[in-house]
Structure 1
Amino acid sequence: MPMHPTGEPALLEQRREAGSDFACLAKKITAAGLMRRRPWYYLLRMSLVAGLYAGGWAAFAAVGDSWWTLAVAAFLAVVFGQVALVAHDVGHRQVFRLRRASAWTGRIAGNLGIGMGYGWWQDKHSRHHANPNHEELDPDVEPDVLVWTRGQARKATGLPRLIGGSQAYLFFPLLALEGFNLHVAGVRALANRSLKQRRLEGVLLFAHFALYLSALFLVLPPGKAVAFLAVHQCLFGLYLGSIFAPNHKGMPTLTGDERPDFLRRQVLTSRNVRGGWFTDVALGGLNYQIEHHLFPSMPTPHLRRAQPIVRRYCQELNVGYLETGLFTSYRQALSSLHAAGAPLRTATARATPE
């Protein structure tokens, strides 16, 4: 993979490198009208998601004290994932021009709607976009539970060291805990005084928890309420994790001063997923991860139209552009995780007495 050490220059300077490759692509995209807002699309999409959200809770109340409520839990897990995808697009300023409107909508959808700290997520996700798959700069590849490279495995301690050797087998079961992790991370972020609108974030977040738990334990007996909570939150985490896992896992990682120019940094660390309309809906357009990373504020319905332009341009520059099927993307991610854990398996084998 071509590398261009650049230290820590400003983002604008990064984009001017390599003969303004990104600037040339941006002109093509703008000329095609693909950066224009799509207010009617988002009005329809957000109305549909809000209707499904309300309908899901109405079905929960109508089904009542019955084990069929677990089917409603599964349905609401998908709806919560779609709400998270709306919050994602709002956070990237794809929907509203004004920051205030974006922030309010994001907090209502994230904090109040699904119990995800919008401010915490936006900060984390912005750092990921700036330096995807960079071991020191991308929070998504920090070795908090899993190790993403052999170098991390050799330095691993605690839980990553304990499970790292088997992490490929544990990856999807661990995703089932991602919903709970989002709630905990959102609450923990409230202790950060630099968090914008910290009180509002907290009020909306705890309002969600209060309304959610009250609904469960008022409508259902304790056993069914706990079962609903487990099924709903685990499937929500699994769905959400399955949306984001194909995007970068198993792609090249960067470290230290490895800093390609902006275009190559985004393209070479991202993977697209092939599919039709169902894939587009299920993954919220993030199956066009390369185009999304190059143009984060591009409205979701334009990503499909941008793909042939970006792919052709990358071919002209001889920049690797990876696109796979969904299951192939998961296989590549799991293979990468298994390879990353190799040093820990070797260490365990050496420590095991014959």
Structure 2
Amino acid sequence: MTVRTEGASPPARTRRPPTEYSELLATVQGLGLLRRRHVYYAIKGVVLASALAAVIVGAVLLGHHWAQLALAAGLAVVLTQIIFLSHDAAHRQIFTSPRANEIAALVMGTGIAGVSLAWWNAKHTRHHAAPNQIGKDTDIAPSIVHFYPAAQLPRSRVGRLLHERQGWWFFPLLVVEMLNLHVQSAQALLTRRDLHRRRTELTVIAVRLVGYPAILVWLMPLGMAMAFLGVQLAVTGVYLGMSFAASHIGMPVLPSGAKLDFLRRQVLMSRNISGGRAASLAMGGLNYQIEHHLFPSMPRPNLRRVRPVVQEYCRQHEICYQQVTILRAWLVVAAHLNRVGRSGRDPFRCPVAAALR
């Protein structure tokens, strides 16, 4: 028990020393780079809404013509851009109000794109908290593709052959990625009662996943409608998958018990893609992956402005900051997955992971 004498001052609280990240954050806040960019997002929203409306009108006017498949590819690009915008809203980059961001993400991500916001939020939050860490980042959990050496190799000769060359068929596999997202979203909403706004999302996603194919069948012959849907799903999956894959695959993979400070955890496990505004437009801001992981709520157009600040800070503190071209990133992804497929059972071959064992 602490005894205080009358008139004595209370014991002074010990202030925690600032971390490297808190110093960087203070600099960024001082530059005003965390402020909302309402005009940018208003223009972006109007452009995407107009593009979506143009595709819909075009499909109605074109009728029973196989040129509909070109519109399907165009729709895939528009939907991917809407998913990118939904990603911004889910990170609370667009509006000041958390509720407004949530509604925008729900409308765009679940209602238009057909991906459950609640399921994606739960998954993506874990990824941001511990990118590329085994047992914590669900994005690298073993599935058809292994992002770190498997505990048990395939038994069949064909299985081992595919496993050893997984880097080459990873990209063709993205053709079904959008379908996979639809299925996982529906499964999560049907089985997980802990998801936020579950009933609302179930209704919205049911209307989206059933109504969209029904409209296609109403507009065009069944075969053409299925072809339209197939092209749209395939192009969306490849576009979305190749954008996200470039950010983390091939970067260090950490053991489950590894300890690393927030700044290094986010910088060392991510890579940026060069190309400036063109890359940012094509990838929905995911080209600035390092800055996005450091400041998840930063509006997309401010990421390019904060990049030189982060780059210089990393240089001063001798933190490796990686930026490559998109082609180089895809080659690294393929090479890493092939190396994983050919490797033994030890998943911690990278220098960072080895040092943290």
Give the TM-score taking structure 2 as reference length.
0.88
2:134 and 2:43 map into 1 onto residues whose CA distance is: 39
2:344 and 2:238 map into 1 onto residues whose CA distance is: 26
Are residue 86 (structure 1) and residue 85 (structure 2) matched?
yes
Bigger shift: 279-288 or 94-103? 94-103
Question: Counterpart of 2:275 in structure 1: which amino acid?
Answer: G
Distance apart, 1:62 and its partner CA? 1.3
1:229 and 1:98 map into 2 onto residues whose CA distance is: 35
1:315 and 1:158 map into 2 onto residues whose CA distance is: 46
The alpha-carbon distance between structure 1 residues 135 and 277, as it changes in their structure 2 partners (threshold 3 A), is same
Which residue does 1:35 correspond to in 2? 34
Unpaired runs of at least 5, structure 1:
1-15, 346-354
Bigger shift: 96-105 or 319-328? 96-105
Distance apart, 1:166 and its partner CA? 2.0
Distance apart, 1:63 and its partner CA? 1.2
**Where does 1:208-227 land on structure 2 (aligned, <5 Å)?**
208-227=208-227
Bigger shift: 322-331 or 54-63? 54-63
1:330 and 1:133 map into 2 onto residues whose CA distance is: 17
Which residue does 1:10 correspond to in 2? none
Distance apart, 1:161 and its partner CA? 5.6
Which residue does 2:292 correspond to in 1? 292
Question: Counterpart of 1:197 in structure 2: which amino acid?
Answer: R
Are residue 144 (structure 1) and residue 143 (structure 2) matched?
yes
Distance apart, 1:343 and its partner CA? 3.8
2:255 and 2:145 map into 1 onto residues whose CA distance is: 17
Residue-by-residue CA offset, 1:133-158 (whole Å, 9 max, x unaligned): 001100000011211112xx243569
Distance apart, 1:51 and its partner CA? 1.3
Distance apart, 1:256 and its partner CA? 2.3
Higher Cα Rg, which structure: 2
Point out 4+ residue stretches in structure 1 off by more than 6 angstroms: none
Are residue 125 (structure 1) and residue 124 (structure 2) matched?
yes
Which residue does 2:252 correspond to in 1? 252
Whether the 8 Å contact between 1:292 and 1:298 is mirrored in structure 2 is yes
The alpha-carbon distance between structure 1 residues 196 and 157, as it changes in their structure 2 partners (threshold 3 A), is farther
Whether the 8 Å contact between 2:136 and 2:256 is mirrored in structure 1 is no
Question: Counterpart of 2:270 in structure 1: which amino acid?
Answer: S
Which residue does 1:98 correspond to in 2? 97
The alpha-carbon distance between structure 1 residues 156 and 97, as it changes in their structure 2 partners (threshold 3 A), is farther
The alpha-carbon distance between structure 1 residues 210 and 154, as it changes in their structure 2 partners (threshold 3 A), is closer
Give the TM-score taking structure 1 as reference length.
0.89
Whether the 8 Å contact between 1:34 and 1:306 is mirrored in structure 2 is yes
Distance apart, 1:33 and its partner CA? 0.9
Which residue does 2:322 correspond to in 1? 322
Whether the 8 Å contact between 2:110 and 2:116 is mirrored in structure 1 is yes
1:155 and 1:128 map into 2 onto residues whose CA distance is: 24
Q: What SS class does the counterpart of residue 228 from structure 1 fall into?
A: helix
Whether the 8 Å contact between 1:106 and 1:118 is mirrored in structure 2 is yes
Q: What SS class does the counterpart of residue 134 from structure 1 fall into?
A: coil
Residue-by-residue CA offset, 1:223-262 (whole Å, 9 max, x unaligned): 1111111111000000000110110010001012212100
2:55 and 2:117 map into 1 onto residues whose CA distance is: 22
Paired residues in the alignment total: 327
Which residue does 2:282 correspond to in 1? 282
Which residue does 1:20 correspond to in 2? 19
1:139 and 1:221 map into 2 onto residues whose CA distance is: 40
Question: Counterpart of 1:186 in structure 2: which amino acid?
Answer: S
Question: Counterpart of 2:322 in structure 1: which amino acid?
Answer: L
The alpha-carbon distance between structure 1 residues 142 and 41, as it changes in their structure 2 partners (threshold 3 A), is same
1:25 and 1:63 map into 2 onto residues whose CA distance is: 54
1:240 and 1:147 map into 2 onto residues whose CA distance is: 19
Which residue does 1:47 correspond to in 2? 46
Question: Counterpart of 2:171 in structure 1: which amino acid?
Answer: F
The alpha-carbon distance between structure 1 residues 279 and 331, as it changes in their structure 2 partners (threshold 3 A), is same
Whether the 8 Å contact between 1:117 and 1:187 is mirrored in structure 2 is yes
Distance apart, 1:282 and its partner CA? 0.5
**Where does 1:181-200 land on structure 2 (aligned, <5 Å)?**
181-190=180-189, 191-200=191-200
Residue-by-residue CA offset, 1:46-99 (whole Å, 9 max, x unaligned): 111111111111111111111100000000000010010011000001012222
Which residue does 2:177 correspond to in 1? 178
1:263 and 1:24 map into 2 onto residues whose CA distance is: 11
Unpaired runs of at least 5, structure 2:
1-15, 346-357
Question: Counterpart of 2:152 in structure 1: which amino acid?
Answer: K
RMSD value over aligned CA atoms?
1.8
